[in-house]
Structure 1
Amino acid sequence: MATVTVDVNGRPYAVGCADGQEERVRILAKQFDNRVRAVAQDVGQVGDLRLFLMSALILADELHEARLGGAKAPVAPAPAPTPVASDGVAEALNAVAARIEKIAQNI
């Protein structure tokens, strides 16, 4: 397992991922960082945990709309997650979730 250090909202975070997935994690983290910075510009610096949550909800909404083909519809419960191939994305998301939980406990 590899470890990648990514910057989100000006802070470094170590994220574990499958070997060979380091660049993908960096790309995803940069996209997330851009979203977090945009939210921070709109609402101000309200703390990383809140910025991350707001950004994640916006991204989840965009994903939901994309899955519907852009049609507006009420948000339904997400389907049960499907197993992810061993491409490291699941590991990266689990590591980020663990890091966010750790940050939340320290607030």
Structure 2
Amino acid sequence: MATVSVTINGKTYRIACDDGQEAHLGRLGKYIDQRCKQLIGSVGHINEGLLLVMVSLLVADELSDVSGELAELRSALGIDGGEDGPSPRERAEERVAAAIETVARRVEGIAETLEAP
């Protein structure tokens, strides 16, 4: 188990993480620190607890927006089914197979036309 030091709002915290996740956790800490600085720039200095709650809400809002966009993209691609049906990959493979079959039929039709007397 590794540990990483992250600095948020001027305070350093030692955080345990899985081996190999140190850089990722460091980037997350920098992102949260950046959001704290942005919020302080907007509203001024506030109680640290309130600051971290507000930053958490901002990050949760960003995550919610991205989740919504991902759902829209999946829906547009036709891969937004539930767990009961085929997986997104299986549905994509089915669409590709259907497209290949359509092309094969067209090629066969062209070949028959060319072979006709």
Q: TM-score range by the shorter chain?
A: 0.5 to 0.7
Q: TM-score, normalised by structure 2?
A: 0.56
> 2:26 & 2:39 partners in 1: Cα distance?
20
**Which amino acid is 1:27 matched to?**
R
> 2:56 & 2:46 partners in 1: Cα distance?
15
Kindly report structure 1 stretches of 4+ aligned residues shifted beyond 3 Å.
Answer: none
Amino-acid identity (%): 37
Higher helix share: 2
Q: Which residue of 2 aligns with 1:28?
A: 28
**Which amino acid is 1:66 matched to?**
V
Q: TM-score, normalised by structure 1?
A: 0.61
Secondary structure of the corresponding residue to residue 46 of structure 1:
coil
**Which amino acid is 2:27 matched to?**
I
Secondary structure of the corresponding residue to residue 16 of structure 1:
strand
Structure number with higher relative contact order (C-alpha < 8 Å, ≥ 6 residues apart): 1
Per-residue deviation, residues 32-90 of structure 1 (Å, max 9, x unmatched) = 110011111111221221111101101101111111118xxxxxxxxxxxxxxxxxxxx
Q: Which residue of 2 aligns with 1:66?
A: 66
**Which amino acid is 1:13 matched to?**
Y
